Chains A and B, each alone.
Chain A
Amino acid sequence: MSLLQIEDLHAGYGAADIVHGVDLTVDEGEVVVLLGANGAGKTTTMRAISGLIARHGSLRFDGTDISRAAPDEIVRLGLAQVPQGRGTIADLTVEENLRAGAHVRRDKQGIAEDITRWFDTYPRLAERRKQQAGLLSGGEQQMLAISRAMMSRPRLLLCDEPSLGLSPKLTQEMFASLSRINHEMRMAILLVEQNATLALGIADRGYLIEVGHVGASRSAADLAGDDAIRAAYLGY
């Protein structure tokens, strides 16, 4: 059984569904990428999985039905999301952002250890621990967003466009970092990304979503080798 199993997901804002009929699965320890053009429904799918918007269809996380669960319940089950635009809690300091990330946990010792761990992973954040998070650069905010989501000790990390607004160099660092999290912690990651080359570089499998509909799962290598996808999303 897959960690995350979605069948026939419909979701949208208000009257019109943007996503109609998405099926996808993510297994333990796997990196899965969701590719697609602007407006295809990638972010809508992510927001529907986390319970931020109305949705229907079959959504199961580790066997538990989450199709009616509220966002906070879904986090408690072990599914964390780095939202598009990074979701920085601008008025809190960097360290407070991480503490807020551990909201669902009660183990003080473990929380303190994890904060140290993420400060070790991203030393730039440690340097700015007392600074207001809203003042960080885009790259630093993205590091903070990933660390904050990881502070809940999730079993599946959803990442919505981590490269948004970052320089190519920073984007590469970000993907290297996600890949390390996947390898070192065996963290399952579902990634939405416009930068298909880099995303497929760290992914095991991928899906292509087109106007609210998702195709069959394919291996990352297969997707990267597909001429149509190369032309549309890889740009060479």
Chain B
Amino acid sequence: MDLLVARLIDGLNNGVIYGFLALALVCVYRSTKHLNLAQGEMAMFCAFIAYAATQAGVPVVFAIVIAIAAGVIMGGVVERVLVRPLGHDADYSILLVTIGLFLALNATAGIIWGGEPLAFPTVFSSGAEDYIGVLGSRVRYQQLLLAVLLAAVLAAILALFKYTKLGLAMRTATSNPESAALLGIRVNRINALGWMMAAAVGGLLGPLVAPGTTLTTYMMFTFLIYAAAAATLGGFDSPGGAVLAGLIIGVLESLIGGYVSFVGSDLKLAVALVLLLIVLMVRPSGLFGSRRVERV
């Protein structure tokens, strides 16, 4: 029983990270219908910027705010300089651009901050006694904070889409860019905003994950794979679906890795992806994605 709870909590902890990054992927997808493969690296770069801020004596919380601001700027610049000039129908070109961006950010971070793992401070103190006991298992404050922030960010994004004029404009621009332009919506700006939102979510995530993974240039590699899986499973246009799918994948991975002996920790990524494949064979648009039905 204790072991089960421990594995569940372990899975949820990872699932929160997958869901967080998946949320960022969904923000980009909903604005420009692209998969940003550099989303994780942008988050990593923001974490390094937060690190630089803490080194300069800025308290951690403010360093994270700086990272978010850096994310917003980075997202805006990437959309304006690398994505927009390629035009609306350049799907594969933009996919390649995001791979290039992935490599560039990775190399740049390596050049500036070196390849050695760095320690990054947690927001709350994380001594041996700083945890909340849940049925004999430990939930660290930082992990709890990440989960709460994920819920808050998700709620904010859903509210934005559902209740605000800006959210309506964003959904219009995604659903039918040309009609959106004919209604006076500045589609380019809306797209840039989607990239900025996504990068801001990453900018929040990076510095919060860094204490657990240690701060390295490759800290987001596997997270991105799981996040892409979560976004696919949840449905690329559904923020709530992506987060839920992230949690599902985290828990499944932990349980299967723990209880199926031949899977262990080596094969658990493969198992998660096989599950994903099976789900998608039944529901190609993901668990919560909207299937496009249209009468003409």
Taking Cβ atoms with an 8 Å cutoff, the residues of A that contact B are 50, 52, 70-72, 75-76, 80-81, 83, 85, 87-92, 96, 99-101, 103-104, 132, 134-138, 141, 148-149, 152, 165
Chain B residue with Cβ nearest A145: B179
> Which residues from B are CB-within-8-Å of A96?
168, 171
> Which residues from A are CB-within-8-Å of B290?
91
Asked if A103 contacts B295 (CB within 8 A), the reply is no
Flag B64-107 by CB within 8 Å of A: 1 or 0 each.
Answer: 00000000000000000000000000000000000000000000
Q: A50-B182, A88-B179 are in contact. Are A134 and B172 (CB under 8 A)?
A: no
Asked if B178 contacts A52 (CB within 8 A), the reply is yes
Residues of chain B from 274 to 296 with CB closer than 8 A to chain A in the complex: 290, 292-296
> Which residues from B are CB-within-8-Å of A101?
183
- Complex CA gap A165/B169 in Å reads 28
Chain B residue with Cβ nearest A90: B294
Asked if A148 contacts B294 (CB within 8 A), the reply is no
> Which residues from A are CB-within-8-Å of B176?
87-90
19 further A-B contacts with Cβ under 8 Å, apart from A88-B176, A152-B184, are A70-B186, A72-B184, A80-B183, A87-B176, A87-B179, A87-B182, A89-B172, A91-B171, A91-B174, A91-B290, A91-B292, A96-B168, A100-B169, A101-B183, A103-B183, A103-B185, A137-B295, A149-B182, A152-B183
Asked if B169 contacts A134 (CB within 8 A), the reply is no
> Which residues from B are CB-within-8-Å of A136?
295
> Which residues from B are CB-within-8-Å of A103?
165, 168-169, 172, 183-185
Asked if B296 contacts A71 (CB within 8 A), the reply is no
- Complex CA gap A135/B290 in Å reads 13
- Complex CA gap A92/B290 in Å reads 11
What 6 pairs between A and B have smallest CB-CB spacing?
A75-B184, A87-B179, A104-B184, A134-B294, A91-B175, A71-B181
> Which residues from A are CB-within-8-Å of B146?
none
Q: Is B263 an interface residue (CB 8 A)?
A: no
> Which residues from B are CB-within-8-Å of A91?
171, 174-175, 290, 292
**Of listed A90, A104, A141, A149, residue having the most chain B CB within 10 A:** A90
**How distant is B186 from chain A, measured CB to nearest CB, in Å?**
5
Asked if A88 contacts B294 (CB within 8 A), the reply is yes
- Complex CA gap A152/B180 in Å reads 12
> Which residues from A are CB-within-8-Å of B183?
75, 80, 100-101, 103-104, 148-149, 152
- Complex CA gap A99/B290 in Å reads 21
- Complex CA gap A149/B178 in Å reads 13
Asked if A81 contacts B292 (CB within 8 A), the reply is no
- Complex CA gap A80/B183 in Å reads 7
**Of listed B165, B176, B180, B186, residue having the most chain A CB within 10 A:** B176
> Which residues from B are CB-within-8-Å of A148?
183
**Of listed B171, B184, B186, B295, residue having the most chain A CB within 10 A:** B184
Asked if A165 contacts B296 (CB within 8 A), the reply is yes
> Which residues from A are CB-within-8-Å of B169?
100, 103
Asked if B295 contacts A134 (CB within 8 A), the reply is yes
